[in-house]
Copies of this chain bind each other. A is one copy, B any other.
Amino acid sequence: MVKVTRLTKKNVNILRVNIKINKESRIPDYLQLINQIKEGASSNEQEINTLIKDIDNASVILDLERSVVLKALRQLEFQGILYRETDLTFVVNSQAESSRYSARGVSSDKTEVLQTIASLDKGLYPNAFCKISEDFLSGREDYCNLIHSDGAGTKSIVAYLQYKESGDPKVFRGIAQDSIVMNLDDLICSGARSSILISTTINRNAMNCPQEVIRELILGTEDFLESMRTLGINIRSGGGETADVGDLTGTIIVDSCASTILKRQDVIKNEISEDLTILGFSSTGKSTYETAANSGVGSNGLTSARHELLSKFYRGKYPETADLSIDPDLSYCGRWRLEDQLPGTPMTIGSALLSPTRTYAPLIAALSNEFKAEIKGLVHCSGGGQTKCLRFGKNIHFVKDQLFEVPPLFETIRTASNTPWQEMYKTFNMGHRMELYINARHTDSVISLAKSFNIEARIIGFTERAKSNCLTLTKGNQKLFYES
């Protein structure tokens, strides 16, 4: 490519494009460009490719600032619509499937992050659910260490909306639980059962989230940990941090970090093999240790759930809860308010979205006491939903052909947003957030043990040998296929 520093209408490669930027529109120029390239990417791929292979050219043709064109193209690159060939040349990704999820700046498969860390040390047990390292903390050969971070993600925004509407900060107690459980249940899948130390970090906009919010988060943390200890899970808070960072967030971000030491012999290596039964543990209902029925929502997919269900009312009233660089058509495009009824349930939309993430820790601890040596794998279906299992085992075909019925919340999201099943199962847990890989002969005992916690368990599928990891989900007559 010849670099042309100052182009004018006279010396550019004039080409006819159907893209028209309306400078009078309230929609920013770069968003108009994004939307029109998206629309044309499949039908006019050739034409778009000619346009975007030279930024300077495109800038003159479209009569847009170079930085505006670049911003649009880079966002399209992130969305998977375009590839970047060099710093300044792009090309249409002809395999792109338009994903509402990535258009909102959320990558459910985290490919890019996983690539970056692929070169780093994978720890002692590369297939274990969390990274496990040798015992730096206490220096004992037969032990190992685990430190793990995760948080409530954008679920805190739903809590914020509810808080602002109702004035009751207690809604943040559930967020404290969400942040802890997102760590606790990952640890549980690695074999940790006790001696867990946790710390929570709160990044807040102090103007919008005053003292009373912090108080409820701290008290919610302490209460939840206390309830876990009563159930035999030895988890304790070692403190936490609150930062007032109004320039970084308009609302509040709640993250936790958990650390533990465990015996190497207790690690669940998640070396998932063929011919195992997959047991799923329901994410809905009311377990013996919950105070209300759970919608099953967990803490994943909340960006999507919030925008698909909640109405423009919230975008207008609480602009601090929406990314201003996202296409407004993808933001709060639902028909409901928090206090509306969730179809087919006695819950409101708000209480369903805010249902605190269920921990499976008490159940899995009990399970370990009885079947420890028999647990071949445990998968927390968090980010990636039902496709999370693809990261474990080698050359395994995961067949999930008897999934739980889709809980009403997820069904409502799907129908409201017209999201394909393929994407729904990648984003949400869709009915079970924890799965156990075990030999078929133990399934009845496990199902019965789960029942004692009032958690429904069922055989949802099995594993078989394959050429590489893949997954088939059966939904009615439809089969959904995923590769790792």
Contact = CB atoms under 8 A, between A and B. Distances in A.
Interface stretch (A245-253, A275-283, A358-366): A245-253
Contacts of A107: 206, 244
Given A105-B244, A153-B245, 11 more contacts: A77-B210, A116-B218, A133-B238, A138-B138, A151-B243, A199-B257, A203-B203, A207-B323, A247-B303, A247-B323, A248-B253
Interface in A234-274: 234, 236, 238-251, 253, 255, 257, 259-261
B238 A105 contact: no
A110 interface: yes
Interface string A147-164: 111110110110000000
Contact of A116 (B112, B120, B215, B319): B215
A371 B475 CA distance: 69
A482 interface: no
Copies in the complex: 2
Contacts of A146: 238
Contacts of A113: 211, 214, 242
A130 interface: yes
B325 A250 contact: yes
Interface string A91-112: 0000000000000111100101
Nearest to A84: B210
Identify whether the interface residues of A are mostly helix, strand, loop, or mixed. Answer: mixed
Contacts of A150: 201, 241
B112 A211 contact: yes
A464 interface: no
Contacts of A154: 245, 247-248
A447 interface: no
9 contacts: A78-B206, A105-B246, A113-B214, A116-B214, A136-B236, A147-B239, A147-B259, A207-B326, A250-B323
Interface residues of A, number: 86
Contacts of A140: 138
A262 to B, nearest CB: 10
Contacts of A325: 205, 207-208, 246, 250, 320
A147 B207 contact: no
Contact of A203 (B117, B147, B148, B253): B253
A80 to B, nearest CB: 12
A321 interface: yes
B198 A201 contact: no
A243 B249 CA distance: 14
A148 B198 CA distance: 9
Most B CB contacts (10 A, CB to CB) among A140, A210, A323 go to A323
Given A116-B214, A149-B257, A249-B249, A137 B207 contact: no
A248 B251 contact: yes
A243 B147 contact: no
A413 interface: no
A74 interface: yes
